[in-house]
Amino acid sequence: MTKLIIILLSAVFINNYVLSRFLGICPFLGVSKKLDSATGMSIAVIFVMLMATAVTYPIQMYLLVPNDLGYLQTIVFILVIAALVQLVEIVLKRYIPSLHKSLGVYLPLITTNCAVLGVTILNIDEGYTFLEAMVNSLGSGLGFFLAMVMFSGVRSKIEGADIPKSFKGLPVTLIAASITSLSFLGFGGVIENLFA
Partner 1 sequence: MNAILTAVIPVVAIGFICAVVLVAASIIMAVKEDERIPKVRECLPGANCGACGYAGCDGYAKALVEEGVQANLCVPGGAAVAKEISEILGVEAGEVEPKVAVVHCGGDCKSTEDKINYIGIQSCSASKLVFGGKGQCGYGCLGLGDCREACPEDAICIENDLARINTSLCIGCGICAKACPNHLISLVPARRRADVLCSNKDKGAVTRKICSDGCIGCRKCVKVCPKEAIDIVDNHAVVDYEKCVGCGLCAKECPVGCIVKIDN
Interface residues toward partner 1, by CB under 8 A: 59, 63-64, 67-69, 71-72, 75-76, 79-80, 82-83, 86-87, 90-91, 93-95, 97
CB of 94 to partner 1, least distance (A): 4
Give dist(CA 53, CA 121) in Å, integer. Answer: 9
Nearer to partner 1, 26 or 83 (CB): 83
**CB within 8 Å of 133: residues ≥ 6 apart:** 53, 57, 123, 124
Nearer to partner 1, 33 or 100 (CB): 100
CB of 31 to partner 1, least distance (A): 17
Nearer to partner 1, 77 or 184 (CB): 77
CB of 82 to partner 1, least distance (A): 8
Give dist(CA 116, CA 144) in Å, integer. Answer: 10
Nearer to partner 1, 95 or 157 (CB): 95
How many residues in total does the chain contain? 196
Give dist(CA 75, CA 25) in Å, integer. Answer: 21
CB of 36 to partner 1, least distance (A): 18
Nearer to partner 1, 98 or 193 (CB): 98
Give dist(CA 140, CA 137) in Å, integer. Answer: 5
Q: Are 146 and 46 in contact (CB under 8 A)?
A: no
CB of 176 to partner 1, least distance (A): 24
For helices 35-58 and 130-160, angle between their N-to-C axes, nearest 10 degrees = 160
Give dist(CA 172, CA 86) in Å, integer. Answer: 35
